[in-house]
Amino acid sequence: MTVPRFTLNDGYALPAIGLGTWAMSDDEAATAVAEGIRTGYRLIDTAASYGNEAGVGRGIAESGVLREELIVTSKLRGRDQGYEETLRAFETTRRDLGVEYVNLYLIHWPLPRQDKYVETWKAMIKLREDGLVRSIGVSNFTAEHLDRIIGETGVAPSVNQIELHPGFPQDEMRRVDAERGIVTQSWRPLGKGRLLDAPAVVEAAGFHGVSPAQVILRWLHQLGTVPIPKSADPQRQKENFDIFRFNLRQPEMERISAMAGGRLGGDPDTHEEF
Protein backbone atom coordinates (compact mmCIF):
# COMPACT_ATOMS: atom_id res chain seq x y z
CA MET A 1 0.00 0.00 0.00
CA THR A 2 1.24 3.48 -0.81
CA VAL A 3 1.08 5.84 2.15
CA PRO A 4 0.67 9.53 1.25
CA ARG A 5 3.36 11.88 2.50
CA PHE A 6 3.32 15.46 3.71
CA THR A 7 6.15 17.79 2.77
CA LEU A 8 7.39 19.68 5.82
CA ASN A 9 8.49 23.33 5.71
CA ASP A 10 12.12 22.13 5.85
CA GLY A 11 11.70 19.97 2.73
CA TYR A 12 11.64 16.56 4.45
CA ALA A 13 8.72 14.18 3.90
CA LEU A 14 6.47 12.87 6.66
CA PRO A 15 4.34 9.72 6.17
CA ALA A 16 0.63 10.31 6.73
CA ILE A 17 0.41 7.80 9.60
CA GLY A 18 2.72 6.85 12.45
CA LEU A 19 2.97 4.35 15.29
CA GLY A 20 2.64 5.61 18.88
CA THR A 21 4.51 3.87 21.70
CA TRP A 22 3.29 5.56 24.86
CA ALA A 23 3.19 3.38 27.93
CA MET A 24 5.04 0.50 26.26
CA SER A 25 7.94 -0.97 28.22
CA ASP A 26 11.29 -1.42 26.46
CA ASP A 27 10.50 -5.05 25.64
CA GLU A 28 6.98 -4.30 24.43
CA ALA A 29 8.27 -1.41 22.34
CA ALA A 30 11.02 -3.54 20.75
CA THR A 31 8.48 -6.15 19.62
CA ALA A 32 5.74 -3.69 18.62
CA VAL A 33 8.04 -1.36 16.69
CA ALA A 34 9.73 -4.19 14.76
CA GLU A 35 6.29 -5.64 13.94
CA GLY A 36 4.88 -2.21 13.03
CA ILE A 37 7.74 -1.46 10.66
CA ARG A 38 7.24 -4.84 8.99
CA THR A 39 3.57 -3.91 8.58
CA GLY A 40 4.61 -0.76 6.75
CA TYR A 41 4.81 2.02 9.38
CA ARG A 42 7.75 4.30 8.67
CA LEU A 43 7.01 7.01 11.25
CA ILE A 44 7.67 5.95 14.86
CA ASP A 45 6.81 8.15 17.84
CA THR A 46 8.49 7.97 21.23
CA ALA A 47 9.68 10.40 23.92
CA ALA A 48 12.33 10.52 26.63
CA SER A 49 9.56 10.53 29.23
CA TYR A 50 8.13 7.22 27.94
CA GLY A 51 11.26 5.48 29.21
CA ASN A 52 11.31 3.16 26.19
CA GLU A 53 13.73 4.78 23.73
CA ALA A 54 16.14 1.84 24.09
CA GLY A 55 13.33 -0.59 23.26
CA VAL A 56 12.19 1.50 20.32
CA GLY A 57 15.80 1.56 19.09
CA ARG A 58 15.98 -2.23 19.38
CA GLY A 59 12.76 -2.58 17.38
CA ILE A 60 14.17 -0.32 14.66
CA ALA A 61 17.38 -2.34 14.49
CA GLU A 62 15.52 -5.67 14.43
CA SER A 63 12.95 -4.60 11.82
CA GLY A 64 15.24 -5.29 8.89
CA VAL A 65 14.24 -2.02 7.21
CA LEU A 66 16.96 0.45 6.26
CA ARG A 67 17.44 3.27 8.72
CA GLU A 68 17.14 5.92 6.00
CA GLU A 69 13.58 4.78 5.26
CA LEU A 70 12.42 5.48 8.82
CA ILE A 71 11.27 8.68 10.47
CA VAL A 72 12.27 8.32 14.11
CA THR A 73 10.62 10.87 16.41
CA SER A 74 11.43 11.62 20.02
CA LYS A 75 10.63 14.42 22.46
CA LEU A 76 12.50 16.47 25.00
CA ARG A 77 11.01 16.19 28.47
CA GLY A 78 10.17 19.15 30.68
CA ARG A 79 12.97 18.80 33.20
CA ASP A 80 15.52 18.97 30.35
CA GLN A 81 14.38 22.33 28.98
CA GLY A 82 17.07 25.06 28.72
CA TYR A 83 19.81 25.52 26.09
CA GLU A 84 22.66 23.36 27.45
CA GLU A 85 20.22 20.95 29.09
CA THR A 86 18.53 20.30 25.74
CA LEU A 87 21.83 19.55 24.00
CA ARG A 88 22.76 17.13 26.79
CA ALA A 89 19.35 15.45 26.92
CA PHE A 90 19.41 14.97 23.17
CA GLU A 91 22.68 13.04 23.45
CA THR A 92 21.03 10.66 25.92
CA THR A 93 18.07 10.20 23.57
CA ARG A 94 20.38 9.56 20.62
CA ARG A 95 22.42 7.03 22.61
CA ASP A 96 19.34 5.25 23.96
CA LEU A 97 17.77 5.02 20.51
CA GLY A 98 21.12 3.85 19.09
CA VAL A 99 20.88 6.15 16.06
CA GLU A 100 23.28 8.58 14.39
CA TYR A 101 20.56 11.18 13.89
CA VAL A 102 16.94 11.67 14.92
CA ASN A 103 14.52 12.58 12.15
CA LEU A 104 12.07 14.60 14.18
CA TYR A 105 12.76 16.03 17.64
CA LEU A 106 9.97 17.82 19.51
CA ILE A 107 9.69 19.93 22.66
CA HIS A 108 7.19 17.73 24.52
CA TRP A 109 5.24 20.44 26.40
CA PRO A 110 5.72 24.24 26.50
CA LEU A 111 5.64 24.49 30.34
CA PRO A 112 4.98 28.26 30.17
CA ARG A 113 5.29 28.68 33.95
CA GLN A 114 9.00 27.84 33.85
CA ASP A 115 9.38 29.97 30.70
CA LYS A 116 12.33 28.13 29.14
CA TYR A 117 10.80 27.11 25.84
CA VAL A 118 12.42 29.90 23.80
CA GLU A 119 16.00 29.02 24.84
CA THR A 120 15.05 25.37 24.40
CA TRP A 121 13.89 26.13 20.86
CA LYS A 122 17.26 27.80 20.15
CA ALA A 123 18.99 24.57 21.16
CA MET A 124 16.67 22.60 18.86
CA ILE A 125 17.76 24.89 16.01
CA LYS A 126 21.41 24.23 16.90
CA LEU A 127 20.82 20.46 16.82
CA ARG A 128 19.36 20.82 13.35
CA GLU A 129 22.24 23.01 12.17
CA ASP A 130 24.69 20.40 13.48
CA GLY A 131 22.94 17.69 11.44
CA LEU A 132 21.97 15.65 14.51
CA VAL A 133 18.28 16.23 13.93
CA ARG A 134 16.64 16.50 10.52
CA SER A 135 13.38 18.22 11.48
CA ILE A 136 12.52 20.12 14.64
CA GLY A 137 9.10 20.68 16.06
CA VAL A 138 6.98 21.10 19.14
CA SER A 139 4.11 19.40 20.89
CA ASN A 140 1.18 20.90 22.76
CA PHE A 141 2.07 24.45 21.69
CA THR A 142 -0.68 27.07 21.42
CA ALA A 143 -0.70 30.05 19.01
CA GLU A 144 0.93 32.19 21.68
CA HIS A 145 3.81 29.73 22.25
CA LEU A 146 4.32 29.27 18.51
CA ASP A 147 4.38 32.99 17.80
CA ARG A 148 6.88 33.58 20.55
CA ILE A 149 9.45 31.04 19.30
CA ILE A 150 8.94 32.09 15.68
CA GLY A 151 9.17 35.79 16.62
CA GLU A 152 12.37 35.34 18.64
CA THR A 153 14.22 33.01 16.26
CA GLY A 154 12.63 33.39 12.83
CA VAL A 155 12.37 29.58 12.67
CA ALA A 156 8.95 27.92 12.56
CA PRO A 157 8.55 24.33 13.79
CA SER A 158 7.95 21.71 11.10
CA VAL A 159 5.40 19.87 13.25
CA ASN A 160 3.08 20.59 16.16
CA GLN A 161 1.87 17.36 17.78
CA ILE A 162 -1.37 18.05 19.65
CA GLU A 163 -4.25 16.16 21.23
CA LEU A 164 -6.84 15.66 18.49
CA HIS A 165 -9.66 13.12 18.16
CA PRO A 166 -13.44 12.99 17.66
CA GLY A 167 -14.98 15.18 20.35
CA PHE A 168 -11.89 17.41 20.22
CA PRO A 169 -11.30 18.36 16.55
CA GLN A 170 -9.10 21.37 17.36
CA ASP A 171 -10.40 23.53 14.46
CA GLU A 172 -8.63 26.61 15.78
CA MET A 173 -5.23 24.97 16.39
CA ARG A 174 -5.32 23.25 12.99
CA ARG A 175 -5.90 26.66 11.39
CA VAL A 176 -3.11 28.23 13.51
CA ASP A 177 -0.64 25.50 12.48
CA ALA A 178 -1.62 25.64 8.80
CA GLU A 179 -1.25 29.43 8.66
CA ARG A 180 2.32 29.06 9.94
CA GLY A 181 3.21 26.23 7.55
CA ILE A 182 3.30 23.68 10.38
CA VAL A 183 2.02 20.10 9.93
CA THR A 184 -0.33 18.97 12.72
CA GLN A 185 0.13 15.51 14.21
CA SER A 186 -2.75 14.04 16.22
CA TRP A 187 -1.99 12.36 19.54
CA ARG A 188 -4.47 10.13 21.36
CA PRO A 189 -6.23 9.77 17.99
CA LEU A 190 -8.48 6.94 19.17
CA GLY A 191 -9.13 8.54 22.54
CA LYS A 192 -7.20 5.54 23.96
CA GLY A 193 -9.74 3.29 22.28
CA ARG A 194 -12.70 4.86 24.10
CA LEU A 195 -14.30 6.57 21.08
CA LEU A 196 -14.84 3.47 19.01
CA ASP A 197 -18.50 2.87 19.87
CA ALA A 198 -19.77 6.40 19.11
CA PRO A 199 -22.79 6.16 16.74
CA ALA A 200 -21.31 8.61 14.18
CA VAL A 201 -18.21 6.41 13.97
CA VAL A 202 -19.97 3.03 14.03
CA GLU A 203 -22.46 4.03 11.33
CA ALA A 204 -19.74 5.33 8.98
CA ALA A 205 -17.78 2.11 9.60
CA GLY A 206 -20.83 0.04 8.61
CA PHE A 207 -21.36 2.05 5.42
CA HIS A 208 -17.74 1.76 4.25
CA GLY A 209 -17.17 -1.81 5.48
CA VAL A 210 -14.25 -0.79 7.70
CA SER A 211 -13.65 -0.72 11.46
CA PRO A 212 -14.48 2.19 13.81
CA ALA A 213 -10.75 2.80 14.39
CA GLN A 214 -10.22 3.06 10.62
CA VAL A 215 -13.04 5.63 10.39
CA ILE A 216 -11.49 7.80 13.10
CA LEU A 217 -7.99 7.62 11.62
CA ARG A 218 -9.36 8.37 8.14
CA TRP A 219 -11.26 11.37 9.58
CA LEU A 220 -7.97 12.67 11.02
CA HIS A 221 -6.28 12.12 7.66
CA GLN A 222 -9.00 13.96 5.76
CA LEU A 223 -8.68 16.85 8.25
CA GLY A 224 -5.09 17.13 6.98
CA THR A 225 -3.40 15.80 10.14
CA VAL A 226 -1.04 12.89 10.81
CA PRO A 227 -2.44 10.44 13.40
CA ILE A 228 -0.03 8.35 15.47
CA PRO A 229 -2.21 5.57 16.95
CA LYS A 230 -0.58 3.26 19.47
CA SER A 231 -1.14 -0.46 19.24
CA ALA A 232 0.95 -3.32 20.52
CA ASP A 233 -1.29 -5.82 18.72
CA PRO A 234 -0.14 -6.83 15.21
CA GLN A 235 -3.71 -7.16 13.89
CA ARG A 236 -4.76 -3.75 15.19
CA GLN A 237 -1.53 -2.23 13.88
CA LYS A 238 -2.45 -3.53 10.40
CA GLU A 239 -6.01 -2.27 10.75
CA ASN A 240 -4.88 1.22 11.81
CA PHE A 241 -2.41 1.40 8.93
CA ASP A 242 -4.99 0.49 6.28
CA ILE A 243 -6.89 3.80 5.95
CA PHE A 244 -5.96 4.94 2.46
CA ARG A 245 -8.51 2.97 0.45
CA PHE A 246 -11.79 4.72 1.26
CA ASN A 247 -13.14 8.25 1.58
CA LEU A 248 -15.47 9.59 4.24
CA ARG A 249 -18.27 11.69 2.77
CA GLN A 250 -18.67 15.30 3.87
CA PRO A 251 -21.74 14.67 6.12
CA GLU A 252 -19.81 11.85 7.85
CA MET A 253 -16.83 14.16 8.37
CA GLU A 254 -19.09 16.84 9.83
CA ARG A 255 -20.96 14.44 12.10
CA ILE A 256 -17.72 13.08 13.58
CA SER A 257 -16.35 16.61 13.99
CA ALA A 258 -19.51 17.60 15.87
CA MET A 259 -19.34 14.73 18.40
CA ALA A 260 -19.56 15.78 22.03
CA GLY A 261 -16.43 15.31 24.08
CA GLY A 262 -13.47 17.53 24.82
CA ARG A 263 -9.91 17.29 25.98
CA LEU A 264 -8.78 13.99 27.54
CA GLY A 265 -5.23 15.04 28.39
CA GLY A 266 -3.47 18.12 29.82
CA ASP A 267 -4.11 21.78 28.99
CA PRO A 268 -0.93 23.19 27.35
CA ASP A 269 -1.20 26.45 29.30
CA THR A 270 -1.10 24.72 32.67
CA HIS A 271 0.04 21.11 32.23
CA GLU A 272 3.39 20.40 33.84
CA GLU A 273 5.39 17.40 32.70
CA PHE A 274 8.87 17.05 34.07
Nearer to ligand NAP, 130 or 272 (CB): 272
Measured on CA atoms in the order 195, 271, 173, 117, is the torsion positive or negative? negative
Question: Which region, judged by CB under 6 A, interacts with ligand NAP, from 110-118, 126-134, 152-160, 187-195?
Answer: 187-195
**H or E, element range at 135:** strand 133-139
Active site residue 50: yes
Distance (Å, whole) CA 184 – CA 169: 12
What are phi and psi for residue 159, nearest 5 degrees? -140, 145
Question: Which region, judged by CB under 6 A, interacts with ligand NAP, from 8-16, 17-25, 53-61, 170-178?
Answer: 17-25
Shortest distance (Å) from residue 151 CB to ligand NAP: 23
Regarding 230 and contact with ligand NAP (CB under 6 A), the answer is yes
SS3 state at 38: helix
User: DSSP code of 195?
Assistant: T
* Cβ–Cβ < 8 Å for 274, 78: yes
Where b means 16+ CB within 10 Å and e means fewer, 199-218 reads ebbeebbeebebbbbbbbbb
Question: Which region, judged by CB under 6 A, interacts with ligand NAP, from 3-11, 62-70, 130-138, 182-190?
Answer: 182-190
Regarding 166 and contact with ligand NAP (CB under 6 A), the answer is no
Determine which residue in the list 233, 254, 267, 272 makes contact with ligand NAP, applying CB under 6 A: 233
Nearer to ligand NAP, 11 or 197 (CB): 197
Query: Which amino acids are annotated as binding site for substrate, given as ranges?
Result: 108
Which residues lie near ligand NAP (CB under 6 A)?
A: 20-22, 45, 108, 139-140, 161, 187-193, 196, 213, 228-233, 236, 239-240, 265
The catalytic residue positions are: 50
